[in-house]
Structure 1
Amino acid sequence: GSQDRYEALLYGEGLLKTVFKAVKAGAGGLGLDRVFITGVSPVVLSDMTSGYNVGKNIYLEPELNALCGFTEAEVGTVLGHLSAEGADGTAAEPTAWNPAAALQTMRTFYNGYRFSEDATESVYNPTLSLYFLDALRRHGRYPRRMLDENLAMDRNKLIYIARLPHGEDLLIEALSGDDRVVIPELVQRFGVADVLAAVKDQPFMASLLYFFGILT
């Protein structure tokens, strides 16, 4: 099943573990000076154990909070440029949309990502922001669908959380928009065994939602 395939990749001489062991060896004096890795979940890192135990997680560092997002100032600047250019790319024809109103719309739909609890500013999702800005540039109006379907949340992840004890209540809190999901500490490392068998309390489930990209 899926768990067997996952374990085959990570344990023993699995493909993923072999790759990370090679990277680890390369960074130990065999040609790699620095290694920067993205897209690896805490579940994989926890289960990797000795395969790659020399990494340092930096995704919660406040100085890197805006590394993978746009600030509101950046979004506002682009909207101003698009408005000044006009709907057809020239200043001769004014746009049918207002930059301030467009920024408010983007703030509602695309803002709110805060990857560090010490960060003072939330950032905009870059893929969704570019999707919106491209519609303004090409068509002179908002996109008919505010969410790019390429980034639609994996339903299976939500179904998994919803089926856990009190998981549905947690999702309702998360989607209420009232910033009501509060946990004492973010769980940063957990293996697949924890996901399958550990006690699923609110800190555990909220941490999963964070790393799934639902809560930030």
Structure 2
Amino acid sequence: QNKGYKIYLILDEYDNFANNILVDYGNERYHSITHGNGFFRGFLKIVKDYSNSVIERIFLTGVSPVTMDDLTSGFNIADNYSSNSAFNNMIGFNEHEIRTLIDYYKNCTELPHSTDELIETMKPWYDNYCFSTEALKEPSMYNSDMVLYFMNRYLLNKRIPNNMLDANIRTDYNKLRHLIHVDKTFGENASVVQEIVEKGVTTGIIVDSFSAEDIIKVENFKSLLYYYGMLTINGTRGPMNILSIPNQTVREQLYGYMIDIYQQATKLSLNVDKLNFLMYDMAYEGNWEPYFNYIANQLDNQSSIREFIEGEAHIKAFILAYLGLNSYYIARPEYESNKGYADIFLQPRLLQLPDMTYSYCIEVKYAKRDADDTEIERLTADAKRQLKQYAASEWILQDKGITELKSIVLVFKGWKLVKVEEA
């Protein structure tokens, strides 16, 4: 102030340490720093007081609006620009920018893939973000961190990375699980995740702020998933937003999160390593029965899981979660194509594993626990008829590549798998 200088104050990840306190030490400790005479609240109050003299501008960034809501009365001079359409194009790369990036490197060194091939590889994993309803008609945004992760590894080895996910971007499941209070009753927010995994979409109003105490409310939880990057704006439904899974990177995180929920809520523990070994036989030997029989046997031996997977939607979400965590296939659910294809298409990862032999269409049918044999046979026949149509579709024929396509019928009677057949 004596020198006549002004301060531009930047607080990056302003919410990070406060949210960690909330997770690690609970609401009481968190409340002590953000309310009353708490030091974080006091610090921002001083910042506010000096904004009329020394501090010219303040810029805060963070993941969630939880902390800011608790500090509002002490720091009520801020505007939230997170969903302002003017900044939509800043938060990521659009396709034109990625083409410019790839072409730059192609001018510097010889690359084995074309620009179109690299974009086609990245698109289903990193694309499809929108941060404002007013920007829905603008080009979708790619996750810039993931694009740079991909390019770093691609340029180093001159080949597509085996792992398309940067470990540094994975959501902290322990923190998220704590924040939504997933418990042994398989709470309402866990059911929201299950719905999103099965359908790929939900609706809600994105809330600009909410207190730590209100974070477990469903409407706030959906907003939290949006702020964590697990959902993106895909359209509107009246005053509500249509929120969808943006890409395969997020979908695989949600699969892992669902498995965490099953394990915590029911103590069901399927050995993922064993499933990967069994899936090798599916991918290279066409031996698919042991994989599904293993899942069926584990379900049969775990009575605690049964009440949580009753119903067709829950069955599909359960199967998707475990099929989705493998190194051989991209588990593509029906809603992704929006063209009435099979419940699950296991698309071979031929860029990483060009010698794979088999791909799979899977149709899941569900019958109530009191269904008779006639109903089971009817569902099986319906599934086989549908699978024959799916197998002939242009979309499937293209994405299966050189592999042989197998069509599998799974019929559940309540929680019990009673039919596992090839169509």
Please say which of residues 76-85 and 154-163 is displaced more in the overlay.
154-163
Q: How does 1:42-61 map to 2 (within 5 A)?
A: 42-61=65-84
Do the aligned residues in 1 keep the contact of 2:69 with 2:211 (CA within 8 Å)?
Answer: yes
2: distance between equivalents of 1:58 and 1:2? 29
Identify the residue that residue 90 of structure 1 maps to in structure 2.
none
Residues 131-162 of structure 1: per-residue CA shift (max 9 Å, x gap): 11111222212222111101111112553548
Identify the residue that residue 105 of structure 2 maps to in structure 1.
82
Q: Structure 2: which 5+ residue stretches go unaligned? A: 1-24, 233-423
Identify the residue that residue 130 of structure 1 maps to in structure 2.
148
Identify the residue that residue 89 of structure 1 maps to in structure 2.
none
1: distance between equivalents of 2:114 and 2:134? 33
Identify the residue that residue 191 of structure 1 maps to in structure 2.
211
Asked if residue 148 in structure 1 is aligned to residue 166 in structure 2, the reply is yes
2: distance between equivalents of 1:33 and 1:129? 35
1: distance between equivalents of 2:144 and 2:68? 26
Do the aligned residues in 2 keep the contact of 1:72 with 1:123 (CA within 8 Å)?
Answer: yes
Residues 68-89 of structure 1: per-residue CA shift (max 9 Å, x gap): 2111110111112223333xxx
Q: How does 1:31-180 map to 2 (within 5 A)?
A: 31-39=54-62, 41-86=64-109, 94-119=110-135, 120-160=138-178, 161=180, 163=182, 165-175=187-197, 180=201
Q: Secondary structure, in 3 states, of the residue corresponding to 1:97?
A: coil
Change over 3 Å in CA distance of 1:72–1:174 after alignment to 2: farther
Please say which of residues 156-165 and 56-65 is displaced more in the overlay.
156-165
Percent identity over the alignment is: 31
1: distance between equivalents of 2:196 and 2:122? 19
Change over 3 Å in CA distance of 1:189–1:109 after alignment to 2: same
Which of 199, 202, 226 is the matching residue for 1:181?
A: 202
Do the aligned residues in 2 keep the contact of 1:162 with 1:171 (CA within 8 Å)?
Answer: no
Q: Cα RMSD (Å) of the superposition?
A: 2.1
Change over 3 Å in CA distance of 1:118–1:146 after alignment to 2: same
The one-letter code sitting in structure 1 at the alignment partner of 2:189 is G
Do the aligned residues in 2 keep the contact of 1:110 with 1:124 (CA within 8 Å)?
Answer: yes
Structure with higher strand content: 2
The one-letter code sitting in structure 2 at the alignment partner of 1:130 is L
- Pairwise CA distance, 1:13: 1.9
Identify the residue that residue 224 of structure 2 maps to in structure 1.
208
Q: Secondary structure, in 3 states, of the residue corresponding to 2:140?
A: coil
The one-letter code sitting in structure 2 at the alignment partner of 1:66 is N
Q: Secondary structure, in 3 states, of the residue corresponding to 2:203?
A: coil
Higher relative contact order (CA 8 A, sep 6+): 1
2: distance between equivalents of 1:12 and 1:77? 51
Asked if residue 25 in structure 1 is aligned to residue 29 in structure 2, the reply is no
Larger radius of gyration: 2
2: distance between equivalents of 1:81 and 1:18? 48
Q: Structure 1: which 5+ residue stretches go unaligned? A: 87-93
1: distance between equivalents of 2:118 and 2:193? 28
Identify the residue that residue 10 of structure 1 maps to in structure 2.
34
TM-score by length of 1: 0.83
1: distance between equivalents of 2:112 and 2:194? 36
- Pairwise CA distance, 1:10: 0.5
Q: Which consecutive segments of 4 or more residues in structure 1 shift more than 3 A?
A: 157-162, 172-176
Change over 3 Å in CA distance of 1:157–1:175 after alignment to 2: farther
Q: Secondary structure, in 3 states, of the residue corresponding to 1:26?
A: helix
1: distance between equivalents of 2:189 and 2:63? 24
Residues 97-151 of structure 1: per-residue CA shift (max 9 Å, x gap): 2321210121111112211121123211111111111112222122221111011
The one-letter code sitting in structure 2 at the alignment partner of 1:167 is N
2: distance between equivalents of 1:115 and 1:173? 22
The one-letter code sitting in structure 1 at the alignment partner of 2:127 is N
TM-score by length of 2: 0.45
Do the aligned residues in 1 keep the contact of 2:63 with 2:228 (CA within 8 Å)?
Answer: no
